[in-house]
């Protein structure tokens, strides 16, 4: 650089754009960036403390200490994930100091999202009752440890992850819009009111041991827009429960049903399936479906725009797809995802000519034939950003 010229200086206004340009910053890199200048420290703190994830009791202690000693960090918190003991990691013990750290976390105000996992997903209602500032929470997740939830695992805990949804929670989470439950036993009480503004419900490997799924959404029938149910035991969560819920929640626009393990479950679409004119996106994955299933979809969900029928238990041939598309049963359809073969059985991949025939039939209807991966990514992306 020529002598006498000033050193180039980064404009502070560019710092947030630099940080937002990459979602995979390592914490050690952020630490180095925070040491550059006060401006960098401000924006790095905003990133680090927006949604911290705590996977040990020691982490709970350290974060509680940091927030107590630096109250200026409190407004930066938008959400928090408390997962001590998650993932089969060595548990560092619930000491008196760790309990004090957790109690401090339960008093945090202004949070928009909260996740309880690890040890806190066992009898999760105990910790939900301990929360003192829940008025701002719009996203709640209870994420049980899949190792602890699986009774066949050698690492299974004596007490599986569980949640009892009682009459207190509707009043406690008045602004709740998104509820996600994973790998746990769920108890519902018919007399307990539900959250009236609940718009998204996601169940992943949830075993309903008491009550019915409709009990969880009794007071949110008009508000519920997205329902996602994934199960390795479809007889426990997919079937009559989902049909009853769809009957009472007539405004559901996005419906996803998936069997993640084992043989495909018979899909519950039938003559007694309720009309669902509000559904715009429907994804059936891992279910055992056939050409008759498409007929029921055309009769009950006439306004579908995105349809995905995926998995290795689909008994729909290319000719069935072509006939269905030619019938114009779904006049609003604009995107379709199919498997790459048919379960005759066994599952047999389509030839290039077969795939071209389906592609041509989609072209006549101006329907985009998408890969299953692309459509699932779009589904999860829209679901994750709905309440940001």
Q: What is the CATH number of the domain that holds 316?
A: 3.80.10
Confidence at residue 267, expressed as pLDDT on a 0 to 100 scale: 58
For residue 251, give the 3-state DSSP assignment. coil
Overall domain count for the chain? 2
Residue 145 within a domain: yes
Domain boundary among 205, 224, 243: 224
User: Quick one: 206 and 283 in the same domain?
Assistant: no
Q: Tell me how far apart the 2 most distant CA atoms of the chain are, in Å.
A: 84
Q: Are residues 245 and 220 in the same domain?
A: no
Q: Is residue 337 part of a domain?
A: yes
Q: Is residue 38 part of a domain?
A: no
84 touches 113 (CB < 8 A): no
Same domain, 301 and 337: yes
Same domain, 275 and 340: yes
Whether residues 276 and 375 share a domain: the answer is yes
Determine the Cα–Cα distance for residues 6 and 165; give it in Å rounded to an integer. 64
Specify the pTM. 0.87
pLDDT means over runs of 10, the chain (388 residues) = 61 83 83 88 90 93 95 95 74 81 95 96 95 94 77 58 89 93 91 83 91 82 90 64 82 90 59 81 90 90 93 92 93 94 90 94 93 56 55
300 and 282 inside one domain: yes
Count CB neighbours of 134 within 10 A: 19
The whole-number pLDDT of residue 379 equals 56
Among candidate residues 224, 259, 290, the one where a domain is terminated = 224
pLDDT of residue 344: 85
Residue 8 is predicted with a pLDDT of 61
Structural domain containing residue 179: 49-224
Co-location of 205 and 245 in the same domain: no
The DSSP element (H or E) to which 361 belongs, if any, is helix 352-364
């Amino acid at each position: 650089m020529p002598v006498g010229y000033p050193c180039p200086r980064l404009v502070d206004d560019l710092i947030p754009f630099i940080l937002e340009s990459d979602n995979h910053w390592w914490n050690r890199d952020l630490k180095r960036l925070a040491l550059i200048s006060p401006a960098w420290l401000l924006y790095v703190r905003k990133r680090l403390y927006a949604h911290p994830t705590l996977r040990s009791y020691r982490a709970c202690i350290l974060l509680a200490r940091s927030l107590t000693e630096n109250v200026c960090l409190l407004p930066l918190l938008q959400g928090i994930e408390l997962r001590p003991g998650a993932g089969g990691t060595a548990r560092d013990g619930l000491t008196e100091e760790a309990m004090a750290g957790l109690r401090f976390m339960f008093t945090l105000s202004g949070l928009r999202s909260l996740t309880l996992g690890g040890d806190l997903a066992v009898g999760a209602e105990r910790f939900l009752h301990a929360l003192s500032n829940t008025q701002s929470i719009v996203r709640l997740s209870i994420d049980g440890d899949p190792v602890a939830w699986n009774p066949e695992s050698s690492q299974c805990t004596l007490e599986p992850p569980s949640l009892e949804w009682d009459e207190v929670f509707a009043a406690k989470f008045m602004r709740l819009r998104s509820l996600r439950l994973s790998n746990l036993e769920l108890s519902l009480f018919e007399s307990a009111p539900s959250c009236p503004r609940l718009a998204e419900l996601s169940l992943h490997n949830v075993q309903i041991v008491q009550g019915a799924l409709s009990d969880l959404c009794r007071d949110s029938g008009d508000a519920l827009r997205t329902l996602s149910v994934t199960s390795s035991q479809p007889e426990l969560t997919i079937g009559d429960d989902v049909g009853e819920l769809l009957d009472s929640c007539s405004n559901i626009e996005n419906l996803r049903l998936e069997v993640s393990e084992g043989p495909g479950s018979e899909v519950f679409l039938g003559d007694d399936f309720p009309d669902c004119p509000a559904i715009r996106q429907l994804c059936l994955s891992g279910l055992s479906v056939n050409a008759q299933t498409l007929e029921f979809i055309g009769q009950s969900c006439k306004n579908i725009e995105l349809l995905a029928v995926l998995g290795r238990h689909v008994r729909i041939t290319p000719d069935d797809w072509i006939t269905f598309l030619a019938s114009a049963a779904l006049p609003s359809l604009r995107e379709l995802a199919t498997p790459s073969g048919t379960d005759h059985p066994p599952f047999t991949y389509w030839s290039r000519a077969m795939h071209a025939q389906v592609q041509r039939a989609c072209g006549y209807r101006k329907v985009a034939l998408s890969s299953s991966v692309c459509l699932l990514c779009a589904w999860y992306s829209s679901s994750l950003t709905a309440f940001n």
